[in-house]
Amino acid sequence: MIFYQVSRKLMISAGEASGELYGAMLSREVKRLWPDTEIFGIGGSRMKKEGVNLIAPISQVAGITEVVKHIGELRKIFKKAAGALIEKRPDILVLIDYPDFNIPLAKKAKAAGIPILYYVSPQVWAWRRGRVKKIAALVNRLAVLFPFEVDYYKDTGLPCEFVGHPIAETINIKGTKEEIKKDLGLYPDKGIITLLPGSRPNEIIRHQTLIRELAEKIRCEFPDMQIVVPLTAESNLTEKLPDYVKIIRGRTTEVVACSEVSALASGTVTLETALVGTPMVVFYKVSPVSFLLAKLLVKVKFVSLVNILSGRQVVLELLQKDAISDKIFSELKRILNDKSYRNEMLVSLNKIGEIFQDKKPSHRVAQMVGEMAGWDDAAIL
């Protein structure tokens, strides 16, 4: 008797760092449920660590003008992705955000008859709302991170499910603040202020001078505070910071969790900071052209996930010309010194945590992959 081994193939297209993390977490869960699955696609070191065969790297650019500068590189990556899609013919394609790349890839997959799951909806609630119909016409199912996103697809006929945010799954803080500080090599009996410049190279370049200026002001007025700059394992500063600033790599969650307050570049890290209950002030700078185009195109009142989810200003946002050390430092001082203001912010941050309570997005999306690919009967439960 001849036994034929079942071959399961999954392709994941994660265009940038945050999506690549979600892709890695999804890959781990898929491998747990179906160990023999071949996973390939676009990602980074974290996806590779989970056994994903990378056909191209993730993008490290952000902002409209930055994308334009790298258009040649992105075209080469797309050609590789489209080629792999047709040549290897996965049972299912999972797209993670990055719509300007992934929507054209979805067209290729649809034409080839490959089922498509879009995990992490493009921010249609912020700009280019017309993409809702385009996405609904191309993909088979959609898994979204925020509850309000479901409403944008309710009239399209596209099955859309709120699965929760993967960042909530990564938070597993154990021990007291003092114990965490000691484990990080910090003084357990001294407070911490964290300064986060972002994770992409261009974000760090734009914000690192601001970080240095903030550190100098903190040192002058709060000399007993420890100043920490958390970076990802792959990130690097190109500008030297004062010796009293400690850089810690790959442990952002723990650093933020034991901090008194954080000043951070807008991004997913604002949600992470909210979920560990640390008060914050948000800042961000892009190129002048990108900012002008964003003002014309983006239709949201807030940029930070904390404020968007709250539907009001919970944390102060200082953008572009307002993203200066004086204003950011003034807000840091208010959070540290005004107990009523600080406590009100903490109550609001706690409510955000309740939104994602009991959600397990990586597991749920892996289940959706199995359902769509017809693997259900072979899952290891």
> DSSP per residue over 258-323, as a string?
T-SEEEEESSHHHHHHHHTT--EEEEE---HHHHHHHHHH---S--SHHHHHHTS-SS-EEEGGG-
Residue 151 DSSP SS3? helix
What is the C-alpha separation between 148 and 307, in angstroms, rounded?
13
Is the CB of residue 34 less than 8 Å from the CB of residue 374? no
Q: Which residue has the tokens 């909806």?
A: 121
Question: Using only C-alpha atoms, what is the Rg of the chain?
Answer: 22
Nearest to 377 by CA among 126, 53, 8, 88: 8
In angstroms, rounded to a whole number, what is the distance separating the alpha carbons of residues 69 and 289? 13
Q: What is the pTM of this model?
A: 0.84
**Quick check: 255 and 194 in contact, CB under 8 A?**
yes
How far apart are the C-alpha atoms of 14 and 37, rounded to whole Å? 18
Taking the C-alpha atoms of residue 365 and residue 381, their distance in angstroms, rounded to an integer, is 15
- Give me 245's structure tokens: 């600033």
Element holding 53 (H helix, E strand): strand 53-57
Q: What is the pLDDT along the chain (381 residues), one digit of tens a residue?
A: 343 445 899 999 997 777 888 999 999 999 999 999 999 999 988 999 999 999 987 754 444 344 445 577 778 888 999 999 999 999 999 999 888 889 999 999 999 999 999 998 877 554 556 788 889 999 999 999 999 899 888 889 999 999 999 999 999 898 999 999 999 999 999 999 999 999 888 899 999 999 999 999 999 999 999 999 999 877 888 889 999 999 999 999 999 999 999 999 998 899 999 999 999 999 999 866 655 655 555 566 888 999 999 999 999 999 999 999 999 999 999 999 999 999 999 999 999 999 999 999 999 999 999 999 999 766 666
Domains of the chain (ranges plus CATH)?
A: 8-164+359-378 (3.40.50.2000), 171-355 (3.40.50.2000)
Smallest Cα–Cα separation from 261: which of 338, 168, 199?
338
DSSP letter, residue 358: T
Task: Note the helical H segments in the chain.
Answer: 17-33, 45-49, 64-69, 71-88, 99-111, 131-138, 166-170, 177-183, 201-221, 252-257, 268-275, 288-297, 305-310, 325-337, 339-355, 361-373
Alpha carbon distances (Å) from 285 to 87, 105, 300: 41, 30, 17
Token pair listed for 50: 């989970």
